[in-house]
Amino acid sequence: MATLSDVARRAGVSPATASRVINGSSKPVTDELRERVLAAVAELQYVPNAHAQLLARSHRSAVGVIVHDVSDPYFAEITRGLQRVATDQGRLLMICNSYRDPDRELEYVELLRGHQVAALILAGSGYHDDAFTRQLNEKLAAYEATGGRVAVIGRHEHSGDAVMPDNRTGGYLAGRELCGLGHRAIGVVAGPRILTTTTDRLAGLRQALAEQGHDLPERRIRYAEFDRDGGAEAAARLLDADPELTAIMALNDSMAIGALATLRARSLAVPHRVSVVGFDDMPIARDVTPALTTVRLPLVDMGVRAMSLVLGAPAPAPRVEVLPAELIRRDTAGPAPDARRDTAGSAPRARRGDTAL
């Protein structure tokens, strides 16, 4: 590959002059020299070293984002929002997948700091891990001391700008819906215990059940990975332990789709025998059969707001933006079998579908 020195020799200028032309320096260069350098760049097919350019500039142009898994529809939607703002502002987005490995997250913070990114966004859930939280905050503080900006999405023990999906209210809305449909034997397909997202969604669900005089025993909760296979396996374990369950609450839509697959394999009709409710309202939720009743979070907007915080004017105090949750009624949640028998002959309960279908 051609080097900067090769370009300078071909153009008959000094390397410093070639660098000023290629990097768009504000220092004046005559039109004749500029044309010679650009002609040499074209002839030699010279490609500038992006890392060297970054180090040479006082303006940091890249933004680093740490997600748990960008292939997860939850993070894919958030990333769409992040990318939208970054593109509008001419920023390069560097995405790192931690795969829910706390040690890897710490390594990525150091790596992005070494790349001198302008801002850093943690887009995954926080962890119930004091040692990890302490190390993370130390690394973020060191990064912020050099002028870096930080924002988090979700509940983290970090004092700074944050975008908070209202996970607890979402869990409450789902629980209230299932109770209103007459369900008492409710099982939960939950994500990893260590995640604050799991804790908050479960807390809202417990609150709704408690208000109706019901509890949520641990035997009716199964923890698994936050993905389709985790949901399928957790649903199978729930049904094996308690075949009389009439509803399954999945703490994200991927797990809900896995639960639907398990119910289909066991010939358990949804929602006539078992109702299912998901969480997040990812795009596929409306396309599965039956269409998934779920809790909607404004995922794209969460990404937009987080990126806007770190690229906008700094504030004298940390800003926390809470984005609302909304129950979306579709076809996987219906009256419990007992409730359906009790109300036989009465008018059917009104349902609201998703008008975007």
Tell me what pLDDT residue 345 has: 47
Q: Is 266 in a helix, a strand, or coil?
A: coil
For residues 249 and 178, the answer to whether their CB atoms sit within 8 Å is: yes
Condensed to tens digits (0 to 9), the pLDDT of residues 17-29 reads 988 888 766 678 8
CA-CA distances (angstroms) from residue 29 to 11, 37, 44, 108, 162? 13, 11, 21, 40, 45
Tell me what pLDDT residue 49 has: 64
Dihedral sign of CA atoms 274, 275, 278, 284 in order: positive
Counting Cβ atoms within 10 Å, is residue 244 exposed (0-12), middle (13-18) or buried (19+)? exposed
For residues 64 and 119, the answer to whether their CB atoms sit within 8 Å is: yes
| Pairing mode of beta strands 62-67, 92-97 | parallel
| Pairing mode of beta strands 326-328, 294-296 | antiparallel
Helix ranges restricted to H, 266-298: none
What does pTM read for this prediction? 0.80
Tell me what pLDDT residue 145 has: 85
Dihedral sign of CA atoms 14, 16, 22, 26 in order: negative
Query: Contacts for 140-149 with beta carbons within 8 Å, 24 or more apart?
Result: 140/109, 142/113, 143/109, 143/112, 143/113, 146/113, 148/113, 148/117, 148/118, 148/119, 148/120, 149/118, 149/119, 149/120, 149/310, 149/311, 149/314
What whole-number distance in Å separates Cα of residue 252 and Cα of residue 124?
A: 14
Counting Cβ atoms within 10 Å, is residue 103 exposed (0-12), middle (13-18) or buried (19+)? exposed
One pLDDT digit (tens) per residue for the chain, 357 residues:
788 899 999 999 999 898 888 876 667 888 899 899 999 988 998 877 655 555 455 456 899 999 999 999 999 999 999 999 999 999 999 999 999 999 999 999 999 998 889 999 999 899 999 999 999 999 999 988 888 999 999 999 888 899 999 999 999 999 999 999 999 999 999 999 999 999 999 999 999 999 999 999 999 999 999 999 999 999 999 999 999 999 999 999 999 999 999 999 999 999 999 999 999 999 999 999 999 999 999 999 999 999 999 999 999 999 999 999 999 999 999 999 986 665 554 444 444 443 232
Tell me what pLDDT residue 52 has: 57
- How many C-alpha atoms does 6 have within 13 Å on its Cβ side? 12
Q: Which domains does the chain have, with CATH numbers?
A: 56-165 (3.40.50.2300), 167-297+326-339 (3.40.50.2300)
What six digits make up the tokens of 352?
A: 């609201």
Q: Is 295 in a helix, a strand, or coil?
A: strand
CA-CA distances (angstroms) from residue 165 to 105, 125, 192, 227, 297? 21, 10, 18, 19, 7
What whole-number distance in Å separates Cα of residue 68 and Cα of residue 101?
A: 8
Would you list the DSSP string of 191-242?
--TTBHHHHHHHHHHHHHHHHTT----GGGEEE--SSHHHHHHHHHHHHHH-
Cα angle 66, 71, 73 (rounded to 5 degrees) comes to 100
Condensed to tens digits (0 to 9), the pLDDT of residues 160-174 reads 899 999 999 999 999
Tell me what pLDDT residue 67 has: 96
- How many C-alpha atoms does 67 have within 13 Å on its Cβ side? 19
CA dihedral 248, 253, 255, 260 (to 10 degrees): 60
What whole-number distance in Å separates Cα of residue 136 and Cα of residue 159?
A: 12
Tell me what pLDDT residue 352 has: 42
What whole-number distance in Å separates Cα of residue 63 and Cα of residue 60?
A: 8
Residue 203 is which amino acid?
A: A
What whole-number distance in Å separates Cα of residue 122 and Cα of residue 65?
A: 6
Residue 10's Cα: distance from chain center in Å? 49
